[in-house]
Every structure is written in structure tokens, then in C-alpha cells.
Amino acid sequence: MTKAMMDDPRRIREENPFESMMERFDRAAQLLNLNPDLYAVMRVPSREIKVYVPVRMDSGRIEVFEGFRVQHNFARGPAKGGIRYAPDVHIDEVRALAAWMTWKCAVVNVPFGGGKGGVICDPMQMSIGELERLTRRYAAELIDFIGPERDVPAPDMNTNEQTMAWIMDTFSMHARHTVTAVVTGKPVELGGSRGRREATGRGLLFVINEAIKRFKLSPPNTRVVVQGSGNVGGIGARLLHEAGYKVVAISDIFGGIYNPDGIDIPAALAHLQQTRSLQEFPNVEHVSNSELLELECDVLAPCATENQIRSENAGRIKCRILAEGANGPTTANADKILHNNGVFVIPDILANAGGVTVSYFEWVQDRMGYFWKEEVVNERLSDVMVASFNDVVKYAENHNVDTRTAAYMLAIDRVAYDTRMRGIYA
């Protein structure tokens, strides 16, 4: 970001994920004529926790890391949401992600509220031992605030199954018995659910399958551009490729590759795993991540990070369907431009809700002590995603609003109903 951009308060506001979330919340609340008392309660997090995490580094010295956990809402059940490790984690981002989790859980109608956590660190510069000590101490600092009935963390950016296993073990050591349901996204051998790793990408596939029907498209004649090649983008691209879609572009952090005739996605992902980059993959054109977003296609799936589609580039987006695999890839200021240009948006709180849906399935299986076959998980995920897609589209049509606003209205309506029925303990 240039200095001029940093000095522009409008840009700072647009790229603040919490501001974007609140702008959309306010619009949906206004259209719903939300009771002012419910508005006052729902617009703020229930709890914000800030911790300082001392870690003995491999060098022997102690380094203190700053961490957060935001628990946005408990009206529908325990808080639920990932933990991310990154050098640019900040509290507004965590607040926004926690709120998005509340709305996401409500859109797919699973009995959780929203939570999110983060630690300011650079995991790429840390050893496995340092990451384990960081994770265990961070979990210990949060021990009174998490648990199967309180707040159930999951993996997010730069965290994984191993991270969740460390948290589960730390919590279990304090509880003096094994508590598998304290986190989701664990290894299958430690109570994880089959199908969890692919769940977000698979959920994305299911809603794209529904969306293309509106345009009378079929997978073989649907051109897809995927930004990102990680857990969401990479798995989503592979599943789309297997389903017969023509994936014409995909990217990593260094840039993208493009072939209008389609890319051999399994080969590209294998190349990425071997070389840690897509840049030397043969028989493709190379594009930047920003150029990739503006390629002509039927479906654009931004599956990387926040704020990829903004007011200055939204007018150059040439897709028919925008399927948001990432959290917050589109700023609030870009929404109107996309809507005016006729882009059909599958908003993030619906499009990437496959992960939290199967996390819910994992939590249920842990509490039952009985685990499902992967086919059962995928079938139930399909049922949830297809029903939720149709709920959002119907809500948009009934209220004459765009699909993002409809998703927020549906989610807020459900959370407001539960809050109203429970009453405000004040």
C-alpha cells in the first residue's frame, strides 16, 4: 500500500474488515426494522480477550507474543471460530471474523455463535517446538473461556490439525480427562471428522453447482478462476476440476497461472507442493493476483484473504458469479458496483460455510462418541449447503435485495429471534 493510500481515511475505512462487516450489518438491520434494544446487543461482541503469551524460544530467550480471542455472540450456542497466526493480525480483523462467524453459523442454521482468535507472530520464522510452546501457552491463557459448551476453536490461517491437537491436549491436561470436543479440525485419529479438511472447498462446490443452474450453465462450459491454492482454493479447485468444471486460472502468493483452455489442476497442485510455487508450471500464461481477479470468466472464486475486490477494481470484475471462498474478500464499498454490473454474489457467510458445518458435525460426533463415514458427512454437508443457498436466494427475492444483504438479513433475523425469545439478562 502506498503512503498516499495509507493517508486516505476513506481507503483505511474501506479496508477495515470490521467497518465493512458493520456497514452490512447496519443495512440489514435497518431493512429488518430491528428492535433498537436487539440492535444494541447484537452489534457488539459479547467478550474480547487479550492475552500476552511468553514463549521460550529455541535460543533460550523469552519472547512475549500478543494474542486475542473475540467471542461475538452466544444466543444460539457456544462460540465457534478459527485461530490464526500471522504477523498482521489485529483486533479489528478478529472482531470482524468473529461477527462473520455468528452470521455464517446462522445462515447455515447450526447452533453456534461466532468466535475468532489470533496471535501476532510469524509462524514461517518459528520452529515446530516454538509453535507448540506458543500454542500451549495461548490455550492455557484461554482455559477459562473455551470448552465444548463455551467456545470451540478451529484451524485458520497458518494453523492446522497439529495446532488443534496441541490445544485439545492442553485443555485435557487441565481438565484431567480427554476432551475431544474442545476444538474441531483435529486429526481423525484424535476425534476429527472425516471430510473436514475438504469441507470448505466442497461446500463451495455445492453452492456453485446451484448457482450455475440460474445461468443455464453446466460444469464443462463453465470457466472458473480461483484466487488462492491453500486449504480452500486448492481443494476447491481440485473438486471443481473433478466435477468437470473448466478451471482456467489459479494463483498462489507469488501470482497466478492462466490457460483459457483449462488447467490440469491436480498437476498444478502437485507442482506447487514440490516447488512451493506455481511460477514454473508449463503451458500457461503468468498473471499477477490482481490481474487474475479481472480475467473474463463465468465463476470467480476469491479464496485467499480479505479486501481483494475493492471500489477501485470492482468495475473491472468480469465474472457472472462471484463465489467468495475467503472471509471478507469484497469490501462493502464494492458491493453496489458488483450489484449494478449484474454480478451474482454467493457471499462469504454462505459460500465458505462448509467448514463450520462439518466442524459442527465433528463436535456432534465427539459428543456422541460415534463417528460417521465420509459419504455420510458429505451427503449431510450437501443437504445443508443446498438448503441454505435456496434460503438466501428466496429471501433475496422476497425482500427485493441482493444476495449478500439477504444472507445478512436471514442471519440477523435468526439470531434476533433467539435473543428475543431468551430475553436480555440485564
The grid coordinates listed for 398 are 422476497
Annotation says 116 is catalytic:
yes
CA distances from 14 to 21, 331, 343 (A): 10, 6, 20
Beta strands in 222-380 (DSSP E): 223-227, 246-252, 255-258, 285-287, 299-302, 321-323, 344-346
CB-based contact 201:325 (threshold 8 Å) = yes
Order of strands, sheet of 79-86, starting from the edge strand that comes earlier in the sequence: 47-56, 62-71, 113-120, 79-86, 151-155
Pairing of strands 79-86, 151-155: parallel
Single-letter residue type at 49: I
The grid coordinates listed for 376 are 455420510
116, 246, 336, 394: the active-site residue? 116
Contacts of 242 (CB under 8 A, 6+ apart): none
Residues 129-164, buried b or exposed e (16+ Cβ, 10 A)? ebbbbbbbbbbbbbeeebbbeebbbbbbbbbebebb
Q: Tell me the sheet residues that pair with 252.
A: 255
320 vs 252: CA distance, rounded Å: 23
150 vs 144: CA distance, rounded Å: 9
The grid coordinates listed for 354 are 462448509
Catalytically annotated residues: 116
